[in-house]
Amino acid sequence: MGLDTHVFSKGAEAKLYTTTFCSMPALEKVRNPKKYRPSSLDEKIRRSRTKVEARLLSRAKDAGVLCPLVYSTSEFSITMEKLSGKIFSGKRISHAHAKKFAQMLAALHSLHIIHGDFTPANLMDTKKGIAVIDFGLGFTSHDN
């Protein structure tokens, strides 16, 4: 993390810090240790989830789904594009938005991407369009 970071958001799995990457606004998602897990298991889980999330963000772009661009990764963190917009959580969702959400979900599933938490809280209305954020609980599945 850079020297000019501060906590942007805190979730159950990670903390988001505002930072910069090549002079561009960015977010760094850091998965912190969980004291209730044995350290070797904790490291394995955090390393795997970080790697999977970075890969899913990249593959989501292949599906044509707007999401943050990954700038860099390390063992337990991802530095990504900081999107500007409003989260849909708590807002009344129009029929047109619901249809767009379904199309995005179908596009993800067409590449076997399961978001894991596809809720309005993880959908952001940006100037570029609707973006999907937080693939932290995501995975791939070839089940039909």
Going by the DSSP 8-state scheme, the letter that residue 133 receives in this structure is: -
Going by the DSSP 8-state scheme, the letter that residue 32 receives in this structure is: -
Q: Which residues in 45-77 are b (16+ Cβ under 10 Å) and which e? A: ebeebbebbbbbbebbeebebbbbebbebeebb
Q: What angle do CA 106, 109, 111 make, to 5 degrees?
A: 120
Going by the DSSP 8-state scheme, the letter that residue 121 receives in this structure is: G
Question: Which amino acids are annotated catalytic?
Answer: 117
